[in-house]
Every structure is written in structure tokens, then in C-alpha cells.
Structure 1
């Protein structure tokens, strides 16, 4: 019975997430994580917290996922994103962001725009503008059409030696532009996909 309840809760939480009701979704994901401590549920919870601007909680939850899934690309990308671009300085760590982002790039053969983009942001946080521009341009070269404007904006920032900072409002807008192409799955455990919003 517990599994059936958790599966129903999980479906409702993901559906609310895809509908953009993150406040309601996080309540359900909080309950799920307490019930199951499942990495898939933790990942969804971390994504939701990130889009709500609750960066410290999101960071902590992604770290929980990384403990059992050290090569999860999405988790590495999101951790690097928070550490490189969080608006709160106490959470930023450029060196750690480079470490996570580089690992994500290695795992994606240096051909994934999101991994390259967050690596650029990580180097910008370290004021290494040459590498920030290099990887931002590489990200632009492999980015899908709807992301090219964002990557071009990042290049302009780094050309002017300005830092990229995360914004829940911007992140939610970017996510909404892709949700129409994404379907709510039936629960698939650790192998289920989550939308990558970076």
C-alpha cells in the first residue's frame, strides 16, 4: 500500500511541477523524500527548490543525490550552477563549481551545451575570463535553437568581465519554454528522466 501511495504522490508532484505550481509540488516532494529517501525523488525536490530560489536547501539535496549517483550529469550541472551563479555569496565556490562542471563535461564528451555553459559560469566566478569565453562559445556552438540567445548573452557578459547570476524567475521562464515538449512519466525509479533546466 505504501508503494502505491508514494507512486500516486509522485505522479501528482511531477504533474504540479510541469504545470509550474512549484509551491504545491515542493510540499509533495518533501513528503516523498521523508517516506522513501529515493534519489529520483530527491532530484525532483532539488530541482523544485532551485526554481523557488531556495538555493541552500537545493544544494544540500543535490549533494544527497550525488552520494549515491556520483556520475549523474544533471546533478553535477545543477550543483555547479548553484556554486558558480547563486546570488548568495556564502554558497558560491568557483573551484568546486569547476570540478563538478568539468566532470559533467567529461561524462558528456564535451558536447553538451548545459555542461559547457555552467563550466563557463564557473570560470567566470574565478575571474578566468579567457576560459569563461572559451567554454561559453563552445556551448553556443552546440546549444539548441531556443538556447542560443541565452548563450550569446552569456558571452557578452564574459566579454565585459561581468558575472552570471542565477534568477529563479529567469530559470522558471526558461523551463516553461520547454515543458510543452515534455510529458509527465509514469514512475520509473532511478532511471526516470527529469527536465534539465540549465
Structure 2
């Protein structure tokens, strides 16, 4: 269960750092709204801006200010409606398109986000933040090469933009360019030594390269900077597992669960450590809870399927449920995830259908990317199924 290099969408409506002035002076409702806005009393700000619009119904600035308040108050759809009204009133304001594109990206509407940000850039090509935001939208859309190009342009316009170095590093890491990703994360850290996510992602890149001590150092720094962020602990737990320090791995996973007990990812990571240390009951309990919390979490289904299909302890074997779990995992991943396919093959073997198990395991062996890291175990499983033998993992060390 690897943790991938990640990024975040830019701050919502960062183009409106402070409420702008309305077209006319003396609108007391706007002034009251701006005061509440500055104090982060967004509900009052929205009420006052709404009243202000009754006096100035064609004020683009008031629509923009209310959009910002809606966004910070957790209602991005209302914010988008206000920005659309502003654009209808004045279609030549680059920052309004940029702000709407930013929000659309946050909602996962990447095509619309890219359209908005492209228009913002057409209207004002000197704003680094618009290129940065469009780069994030391209990355979320899956076009990491275009993301890199936009982040590079953002850095040409603003060489000290730490976030653009970080985002470009994420895109490069996603493409497997780990040396260049590390260089970007390092430059981000040079510009902003408190950028915890850059330490996290540089650590993740070092881990992929097998430089575990460097990875642990970076992840430790991320934890120091953000001690209540569960993903830092989960990333460090992976490194500890690779170093076969299972007590440390369990401690980090346990802390991630303590910080976010309703996070199915953290529960699955803790269960993964329990699998290695032969704590079958604890692993099953965590997988069950992860599925209860998120009935569409494919990883939980595939790993519970592998546990109950292949557990050396017959008390925890349940081939029929393993088959259902693995099929569900394959459906959730559109039958394209090789780890889910391996679980499916293992469940078929547990049911005694070795012919089908061989068929599906061979599909796993056709995945060159998956085989780079899992090839040895995948080939061993195929040999077992061909010899009419179900898979049973090698016994690992106990945590105690």
C-alpha cells in the first residue's frame, strides 16, 4: 500500500487576498461585510454583501467579495455562482476567471478549470499564480507534462514561488523523474524551510530510490513541522517496514489512527503491519473497520481478500468472502489494478479453481510496471497455482 507523492490545490480564491472596494462609496452594508470578512465571520459577511447587492446589483466587486466569503464558508458552488455573475457583468477580469477555475479544480471539474485558467492567462499572461493554478488543474486531469510546463512558466515569472517548485516536483515524481523531483523539493525547502509537504514528498521520492535513511530524516522533519498530520506518519511507517523495523512501523500507523480514527487508509496501513507480524485478528479487525467507514475503498477489500484467502491460520480463512471481496476490489478499480487481480486469483485458488487462478495471475505478470516491484512474489504465486497449490505467505517476525 504505497503512499504516492501528493499535492494540494492552491488556496481558494487566493487572487482575492482582501475584499476589494465596490464601485461606489458609502455602501454601509459592503463596509460591514468587509469588516466581518476580515474577522473571518463569513456568515455575517455573506449577509451584508447580499444586502449591499440590493443597492449595487451590478457590482462585480461585491459579487467577488461574496464569492470569497462563500468559498471560505465551505460553499464552493455558491462561490462559483457569484463568480459567474461577476463574469457575466464584466468578462474581461482575469482574476475572476482564475478564481473560478481554482474552485472548479478543487471540485474536480478539471476541464472547466483549465478553460477558466486559460482565459485568465489570455487576459493577463503576467500572473504567475494563474499558470501555477492551471498546472495544478492539468496535474489533477492527469496531464503531468503540461503541468510541468505551466509550473516552469510560473517560476519564470516568479522564481521565488516555493509552491510552484513543490507542484513541479510532484508532477515530475509522478512521471518517475525522481532526481528532478528531489531537486524541485529541495529548492522549495530552500525558499521555505517550513514547507512540510515538500519534506514529505522528498522523503517519498528518496524512499522510491531506496535511500531510506534520507527518507526517514525528511519524514521526521515533516512530522516535526506538522505533528498532527496523519499522512506523514503513514509515509514514515512504509520506510520502517522496508527497513523491517516493524515495532516502529506499527507505532507510526497507530499514531495516524489515533489522530484520525475514521481514516480507512490509516487503518489499512496498520493492518498491513499486522499481516507481516502475524497478528491476524488485529489485521482483520482493521480491514473490517476500514470497509465499514468506506464501502468503496478498493484497497481494504483487496487486502482483506488476500488475508482470508491465504492466511496460514485456518481460523481466519474464508474463501467465499475472499472471492466477493476481491471481485469488489476489481470492480472498483475497473479490473485494471494488478494487486486487486492478484487477490482475485488468490481467492479462486482458495476455492480450488486453479485453472481460473492461473488465468488471472498471468494477467498480473503482463503488467510490466507492477512486475518491477512485485515480480518475484507474482511469479511464485503463478507456479503455486499451476501446481494446484493455494498461496500461503511465508511466516514473518512477530512484533513482540
- Shorter-chain TM-score bucket reads 0.7 to 0.9
Partner in structure 1 of residue 296 of structure 2:
71
Q: Which deviates more from structure 2 when the two are superposed, residues 17-26 or residues 69-78?
A: 17-26
Give me the whole-angstrom Cα distance separating, in 2, the residues matched to 1:106 and 1:140: 20
TM-score (norm 2): 0.38
Q: Cα distance 1:119–1:24, how it changes in 2: closer, same or farther (>3 A)? A: same
Q: Cα distance 1:104–1:13, how it changes in 2: closer, same or farther (>3 A)? A: closer
Structure 1 ranges of 4+ moved more than 4 A: none
Deviation for aligned residue 1:34: 4.1
2:239 to 2, 7, 18: 18
Give me the whole-angstrom Cα distance separating, in 2, the residues matched to 1:128 and 1:154: 14
Deviation for aligned residue 1:38: 2.8
- Pair 1:150 & 2:150 matched: no
Contact preservation (8 Å) 2:236, 2:252: no
Give me the whole-angstrom Cα distance separating, in 1, the residues matched to 2:348 and 2:277: 25
Partner in structure 2 of residue 123 of structure 1:
348
Partner in structure 2 of residue 161 of structure 1:
388
Q: Which deviates more from structure 2 when the two are superposed, residues 103-112 or residues 138-147?
A: 138-147
Contact preservation (8 Å) 1:83, 1:91: yes
Contact preservation (8 Å) 1:50, 1:168: no
Count residues in correspondence.
Answer: 166
**CA offsets per residue over residues 67-126 of structure 1, 9 Å max, x none?**
111111111110001011111001011110010101111122212211111111111111
Q: Which deviates more from structure 2 when the two are superposed, residues 66-75 or residues 34-43?
A: 34-43
Give me the whole-angstrom Cα distance separating, in 1, the residues matched to 2:240 and 2:251: 15
- Pair 1:84 & 2:309 matched: yes
Structure 2 matches for 1:167-182, cutoff 5 A?
167=394, 169=396
**SS state at 1:61 partner:** helix
Deviation for aligned residue 1:168: 5.3
Q: Cα distance 1:32–1:110, how it changes in 2: closer, same or farther (>3 A)? A: closer
Structure 1 regions of 5+ residues with no counterpart? Answer: 171-198
Higher relative contact order structure (alpha carbons within 8 Å, sequence separation ≥ 6): 1
Q: Which deviates more from structure 2 when the two are superposed, residues 149-158 or residues 124-133?
A: 149-158
Contact preservation (8 Å) 2:358, 2:385: yes
Deviation for aligned residue 1:169: 4.2
- Pair 1:33 & 2:260 matched: no
- Pair 1:113 & 2:338 matched: yes
Deviation for aligned residue 1:18: 1.2
Q: Cα distance 1:128–1:13, how it changes in 2: closer, same or farther (>3 A)? A: closer
Contact preservation (8 Å) 1:105, 1:115: yes
Give me the whole-angstrom Cα distance separating, in 1, the residues matched to 2:321 and 2:354: 17
Structure 2 regions of 5+ residues with no counterpart? Answer: 1-225
Contact preservation (8 Å) 1:94, 1:125: yes
Deviation for aligned residue 1:49: 1.5
- Pair 1:52 & 2:277 matched: yes
Give me the whole-angstrom Cα distance separating, in 1, the residues matched to 2:332 and 2:320: 19
Q: Cα distance 1:160–1:42, how it changes in 2: closer, same or farther (>3 A)? A: same
Contact preservation (8 Å) 1:14, 1:25: no
